Amino acid sequence: MTDKSYWNDTEHGLRKVELRAAGFNPDDAAKRHPVVTIASPYTNAHRCNNRVQQIAELIIDALEQRGGQGLLVGAPAVSDALTQGTANAGYSLVSRDLMADCFETGHFAHHAQAMIVISGCDKTGAAAMMPLARTNAPGLVVYPGTSSPGAVNFSPWAEKGDNLTILDYAEGAAAHEAGKIGAIELQQLEKSVMPGSGTCGAMFTANTMSCITEAMGMMLARGASHTADYHADSEIHDDVKTQALASIDALYSLLDNGLRPRDIMTRAAFENAITVAYAMGGSTNMYLHLLAIARDAQVPLTIEDIQAIGERVPLIANLQPHGPFSMKTLHEVGGVPVVMKELLNHGLLHADALTVSGKTIADNLADTPELKDLTRKDVVLSVTKPIAAANNHISVLSGNIAPESCVLKLGGKTIEHGEFRGPARVFDSETEAMNAIRDDDIVAGDVIVVRRVGPVGAPGMPEMVHLTIQLQGRGLGKDVALITDGRFSGVSHGILIGHISPEAARGGPIGLVRDGDTVVINPLDRTLNVELSDAELSARANEQQPHTTDNSIQPGTVLDKYRRLVSSAHYGCVQ
């Protein structure tokens, strides 16, 4: 019974039984190489990932024709567009680690030798690289694509041309609620802004993560900016098909050359990714995701490291939310490589960093046109004449409200007189803050404070995007600041501070701020403070009742486990 050959024969026979039962020919399956995990976060529930299954099937068929075998591994793809502002918003960030766990588990359980990860909505973009870093299996990422933009014929949106995105509808809806546009205009926006599937169509979090993936070298060139389809009823876009098939060629090359993710996901690669994300005006969520990916890639990276790299990079891509253009427009002028070529020419990228093409960044960009040779000069600007100077996009701040850190997003805007100073308007939920805005209780000069919505407090650190949309739609985006221990969508813009750590639910001093306290935001000094003495803050801390967790979260659920295990935003909300 313990004879080794017996167990080998038995195992071989059992595997043939399993393969035959699953619909494979055992003899054919034994000859196939490589076995590739096709990490597929497909859902028909939303437009961000509803094309993933078609891409997965295309890849599996193409692998089979080349003698390989693709094995599908699924995971829940959560869209912020469906969860934002609801009681289930906490599941969005939570899904990042859950997806990565699913892909890692399926890869090892199915004994695969390589991995192609299809990404999508923003958390999927981070989750795509995490299992590649963990398993270190030869592999790369394919992006299912961003949404095609739309157009309308009335101001102020007509001036953007064919560049309207979900941001335009969201701010239009808030403007309608505030009486600034009529129902007919709102309906036209609704029908026009998004003619097809794909992720949110400009430099929001999903496209921030796709650009980071390409800049890091874990995606083929121009893979971050293509549109998902032509319209909602069409096939997937030809550019997506081309990228998917080229990615299979790249995978075979990676296997032939023994090149693995951690050979590519080096410190230099992370610095390139951060540089490109800053140059393109990326989302604040990149801080959480870069820290998580770096942890899995075993690359030392801190929140201050990201600040130090990013603060030297000017903003040069003229994309929403800080500019007028969509991701499709960037793709038409050459995509992310155009941005990277300009950065490389000015010594801002590591030219010798490897990529999944098997070539270096410099090699990949050798034939990319210079800005002066582009037909359009307004989509990507020069490093010497940028949209905004360096250190004027995202900054890491700290102070007596945020002893660990917080993240300020200005997106190229400046604060008059160098600081924003105003009375606190304190709320312990997004709903309370929303009601105050809609009731016109928020006025120019206020600092909205939303707390107990962090990784533990919510739990799940939901996005406060609907608050920022209301402020923009009511014309208060430049005059009201919003600070929170929650986070923001890439769609959000204004004077925004998120990721305040430690969060209120873990005893952070944001929980001590009261209505009327003066809050001071100083980007130049990189500080966030409330004008109270240490003695007053200490006295308030002694008076405050200990925070009790939300009893409505059932023990043993995903949110309960997350609340017990998650680190602060300062460390990337890793578990």
Active site positions, annotated: 489
Break the chain down into helix, strand, coil percent, rounded to 5: 40, 15, 45
In whole angstroms, what is the distance from residue 369 CA to residue 54 CA?
A: 32
In whole angstroms, what is the distance from residue 3 CA to residue 370 CA?
A: 67
3-state secondary structure of 448: strand
In 3D space, the residue among 434, 451, 435, 441 whose CA is nearest the CA of residue 519 turns out to be: 451
Distance of CA 415 to CAs 359, 408, 468, Å?
42, 12, 17
State phi, psi for 476 to the nearest 5 degrees: -105, 5
In whole angstroms, what is the distance from residue 380 CA to residue 27 CA?
A: 54
In whole angstroms, what is the distance from residue 441 CA to residue 245 CA?
A: 55
First to last CA, the chain: 43
What tokens appear for 351 in the block?
Answer: 């030219």
Bridge-based pairing of strands 405-409 and 481-484 is unpaired
DSSP assignment letter at 199: B
- Helix (DSSP H) and strand (DSSP E) numbers for the chain: 21, 12
What tokens appear for 272 in the block?
Answer: 């390139």
What tokens appear for 423 in the block?
Answer: 């009375």
Amino acid at 30: A
In whole angstroms, what is the distance from residue 211 CA to residue 207 CA?
A: 6
Exposed/middle/buried for residue 372 (C-beta within 10 Å: 0-12, 13-18, 19+)? exposed
What DSSP string describes 76-124? ----HHHHTTSTTTTHHHHHHHHHHHHHHHHHHHTT-SEEEEE--SHHH
Bridge-based pairing of strands 481-484 and 447-450 is parallel
Longest dimension (CA), the chain: 82
Q: Which helix (H) or strand (E) segment is 211 a member of?
A: helix 205-216
Tokens 């969520």 map to which residue? 285
In whole angstroms, what is the distance from residue 171 CA to residue 177 CA?
A: 10
CB-CB contact of 439 with 425 (8 Å): no
In whole angstroms, what is the distance from residue 170 CA to residue 178 CA?
A: 13
